[in-house]
């Protein structure tokens, strides 16, 4: 998610820590790099400026210059400011149980509202709600149909608009029909609109006034540039947005918008979308995200994900194996299925502390290819799995035949596996940041 930013700030810190005591000058140099990194991450220009000014004020003071380990103190200041900027502790999402409770999704075109509607339904269905999806997008061709399919696939009912109906009228009807379906959570999907389009904003306002929603979410593409702030401001002031849902964070977007939105609107980022599947929606954790930005990885999310998929014992075993570098093909196969359930493997790897994007280069983990990989591993003998180094040319040929793959594929898997082992070794060598007591995850 934020790997590149992490990398850049890490570079800054490496320079800093190796120089020992800080001077006013090298703080400035470091800040310049931090500023550049933030701007490259699409953090808003003004937000970046304020952030840098705040950090500078605190860094140039005695906190840093008089401390014994100035580099660490500097990291702490950046970290604290980032947590602050991201909104402090993760807010709880407490929705009242009404008949029905109303969620309204708003945003620009193509931000991912319809897809997110399905994901939110799944999210709240796991939390004792009975969701129904309401198609209030009367503008985009086949948008309602898309929502209907999303709802069907997820197993939730949906309400379509009828010819000539206004979005507010669909929503009004939904208040009664939701009950008929036995549902208590109506998720209203609206048309994408520009924040400067007065007519369309008025239409959304009319819908808002009709249902007086319990939660208004602005759905925003994580790849959004400097515009994020004006979009966030306009929707928040005109439609009472309660929080943000940041989509498409499974790509390589650095998502600087997450930093800016909170700062400028005072509203929290509540959810992040991390894939096209229904369960690819996560709570946004500002504190963890700041840790991630600073290169401390996102261990908490990793463990949480693992817990959802594995039982606790297995999760611990995996972590131990990864750390102790005794990870062999037996483990690889055992974990492969469960790893698949956790999401794209490179995403998982990216959450491990000390892992950087550059380390992942050359290790392409293609989720679609996992079946073939399993077949290859299944064709190995137990001793080959335990000692992959013993697999020579003729063994490779046999394995390829047995698994119905080619020698090239076997070679590729072995190569990737060895690179992975190498990488884990590298990780083991990376010293953890020496953090002041009480600081860190």
Residues at the interface with another protein (CB under 8 A): 36, 39-42, 45, 108-112, 139-143, 145-146, 148-150, 153, 194-197, 221, 223-228, 230-231, 247-248, 250-254, 256-257, 276, 344, 364, 366-369
Nearer to another protein, 22 or 269 (CB): 269
| Cβ 126 to another protein shortest distance, Å | 22
| Cβ 219 to another protein shortest distance, Å | 10
Nearer to another protein, 229 or 380 (CB): 229
Nearer to another protein, 22 or 30 (CB): 30
Go through 233-245 and write b for each residue having 16 or more CB atoms within 10 A of its CB, e for each that does not. ebbbebbebbbbb
Residues 6+ apart with CB under 8 A from 272: 222, 245, 246, 247, 249, 258, 281, 282, 283, 284
| Cβ 414 to another protein shortest distance, Å | 19
| Cβ 235 to another protein shortest distance, Å | 13
| Cβ 209 to another protein shortest distance, Å | 24
Separation CA 195–CA 238 (nearest Å):
9
Torsion of CA 266, 272, 284, 307, to 10 degrees: 170
Coil, helix or strand for 136? strand
Nearer to another protein, 54 or 140 (CB): 140
Give 153-170 as a DSSP string.
HHT--EEPPPTT--HHHH
| Cβ 166 to another protein shortest distance, Å | 18
Structure tokens at 209: 């006034």
Nearer to another protein, 195 or 288 (CB): 195
Nearer to another protein, 171 or 350 (CB): 350
Separation CA 239–CA 233 (nearest Å):
10
The values of phi and psi at residue 103, to 5°, are -115, 140
Coil, helix or strand for 281? strand
Distances (CA, A) of 370 to 145, 237, 310, 330: 33, 47, 18, 15
| Cβ 145 to another protein shortest distance, Å | 4
Q: Cβ(103)–Cβ(188) under 8 Å?
A: yes
Nearer to another protein, 84 or 148 (CB): 148
């Amino acid at each position: 998610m934020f790997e590149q930013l992490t990398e850049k700030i890490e570079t800054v810190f490496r320079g800093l820590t190796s120089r020992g005591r800080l001077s006013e000058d090298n703080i400035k140099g470091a800040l310049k790099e931090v500023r550049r990194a933030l701007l490259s991450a699409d953090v808003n220009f003004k937000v970046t400026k304020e952030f840098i000014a705040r950090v500078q004020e605190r860094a140039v003071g005695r906190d840093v210059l008089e401390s014994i380990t100035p580099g660490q103190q500097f990291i702490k200041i950046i970290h604290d400011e980032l947590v602050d900027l991201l909104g402090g502790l993760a807010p709880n999402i407490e929705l009242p149980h009404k008949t029905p409770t109303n969620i309204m999704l708003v945003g620009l075109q193509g931000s991912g509202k319809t897809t997110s509607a399905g994901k939110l339904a799944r999210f709240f269905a796991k939390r004792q709600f009975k969701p129904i999806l309401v198609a209030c997008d009367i503008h985009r061709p086949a948008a309602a149909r898309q929502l209907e399919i999303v709802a069907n696939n997820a197993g939730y009912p949906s309400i379509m608009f009828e010819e000539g109906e206004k979005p507010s009228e669909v929503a009004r009807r939904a208040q009664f029909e939701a009950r008929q379906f036995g549902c208590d959570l109506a998720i209203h999907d609206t048309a994408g609109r520009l924040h400067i389009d007065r007519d369309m904003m008025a239409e959304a306002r009319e819908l808002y006034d009709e249902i007086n929603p319990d939660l208004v979410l602005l759905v925003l593409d994580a790849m959004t540039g400097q515009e994020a702030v004006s979009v966030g401001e306009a929707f928040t002031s005109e439609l009472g947005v309660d929080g943000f849902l940041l989509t498409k964070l499974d790509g390589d977007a650095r998502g600087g918008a997450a930093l800016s939105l909170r700062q400028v609107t005072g509203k929290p980022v509540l959810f992040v979308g991390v894939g096209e599947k229904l369960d690819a929606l996560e709570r946004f954790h500002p504190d963890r995200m700041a840790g991630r930005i600073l290169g401390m990885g996102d261990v908490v999310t990793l463990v949480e994900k693992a817990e959802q998929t594995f039982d606790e014992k297995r999760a611990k075993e995996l972590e131990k194996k990864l750390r102790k570098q005794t990870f062999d093909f037996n483990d690889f196969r055992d974990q492969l299925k469960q790893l698949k359930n956790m999401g794209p493997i490179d995403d998982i790897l990216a959450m491990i502390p000390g892992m950087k994007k550059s380390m992942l280069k050359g290790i392409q983990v293609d989720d679609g290819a996992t079946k073939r990989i399993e077949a290859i591993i299944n064709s190995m003998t137990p001793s080959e799995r335990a000692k992959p180094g013993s697999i020579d040319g003729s063994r490779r040929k046999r394995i390829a035949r047995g698994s119905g793959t080619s020698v090239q594929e076997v070679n590729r898997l072995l190569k990737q596996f060895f690179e992975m082992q190498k990488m884990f070794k590298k990780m083991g060598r990376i010293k953890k940041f020496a953090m002041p007591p009480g600081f860190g995850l």
